[in-house]
Amino acid sequence: MQGFQQFLLEDKNTHLEHLEDEIINNGTKGAKTAINFLKSVKQMLQGGKGGSTVTVKWDGAPAIFCGINPENGRFFVGTKSIFNKSPKINYTNSDISRNHGGQLADKLKVALRYLPKLGIKGILQGDLLFTSDDKKTAVVDGKKSIIFTPNTITYAVPVVKSGLFGSSLYNSINKAQIGIIFHTSYSGKTMAGLRASFGASVSSLKKNKNIFFDDATYKQSEDPGFTPAEEKAFDNIIKMAEGSAYKAGAFIDKLKKDKGPLSLGIQLKTFFNTYIRQGTKIEGTKRLVNNFEVYFRDRIKKEIASKKTPAAKQKYEEILEAGMKILRPNRDGLYFAIATYITFQSAKAVLLNKLNTIQSIGSFLRTKRGYKVTNPEGYVAIKKGGAVKLVDRLEFSRANFTMAKDWVKG
């Protein structure tokens, strides 16, 4: 596996996109990017050089920013609001009380108390897993465990120690007052000028019994591998994706150019999300072509009906007409775009199945009938200045849309 310090530089750590959405966001270039990611993650799993770096998406919340302000040398904690026009940077408990409220303020005060002990030199971003009051004891999957539910997924650490972290995992979490997974580092001479780098090495941080911390690197203790039959099947999926993406090329490049909130591309993404929210698999390409035309038309007509003035109505009538001018003569392009999207999901599912074979901490979804075993939230693949999310959207994204959370923003 490659070294972890393969970075994606950005002005800020912006929202990562799902791999399959690349064809909608970036047209033919996005299709090539997605295919290259799929190939490189497979290469990584086979132990080959030149593959992607993969990090685990821990389902922590809230996102915590902490470290040394380069402008004054003081340690701070905060949320994404450190990047506000009027930044909310917290050096003291008084700052936190002034800038935040509710449970979020409580979490930040715990972070401010303990995280300076790590000796962070720059600025790190991490996902909060727990503070001491979040940890509970329960029987999960037949084992007495410490559990915590920072967002959607419940993490469970059996009292019987096992897993990649070794026998110390239970003791480390049991003693800790705070748990956090770092995944992004920042550099710059000013707060406003910070640049994000995907990847956060924790090897230089000081250990402290009150803090459970790690980086998000995918730790491949064994080679999940591909049998010859699995490799042939995966390669055939990639060939199918390459063929359909080629045939969709002219159409998906049109989607890329239209960036309005009611544009075809944005509406195609929200159309797919309706299936995810319902827990319905995205399949049946011909049917989806017809369904999307109806969805798009109804969505814009709803906007038209909500407007009061003729001028406002005309604006959305023009959006509808412009969209239909693209759709009507390009049904084949839409067909192959949807086919590519589905094929990307199939290839991604193969990789997720391999990645999910190695877990350090058990992950579960809380249901009315108890705890249901689930896979991790997903992964981030990083390669040559780009990054995409690899998430089982039918499993995790739907749960994220619909499940109640244990913490409240403040």
Peptide bond into 62 cis (omega under 30): yes
Helix 310-327 with 264-278: angle, nearest 10 deg? 80
pLDDT for 51: 66
pLDDT for 20: 97
Beta-sheet strands, E only, within 32-89 = 53-57, 63-68, 75-78
Please, how many CA atoms are within 13 Å of residue 213, restricted to the half-sphere of its CB? 27
Nearest 5°: phi and psi at 60?
A: -90, 160
List pLDDT tens digits, range 186-239: 999 999 999 998 878 899 999 999 999 999 988 876 667 788 999 999 999 999
From residue 382, alpha-carbon distances to 55, 97, 349, 368, 379 in Å are 8, 37, 18, 37, 10
Q: Where are the domains of the chain?
A: 9-51+225-356, 57-215
List pLDDT tens digits, range 114-171: 999 999 999 999 999 999 999 999 999 888 899 999 998 999 998 865 544 445 788 8
* pTM of the entire predicted model: 0.81
CA-CA distance, 55 to 3, in Å (whole number)? 12
CA-CA distance, 332 to 327, in Å (whole number)? 9
- The chain-wide mean pLDDT, for the chain, equals 88
The token pair at 255 is 């989607």
User: Above pLDDT 70, what percent of the chain?
Assistant: 88
Cβ neighbors of 108 (< 8 A, separation 6 or more) are 64, 77, 78, 79, 90, 96, 100
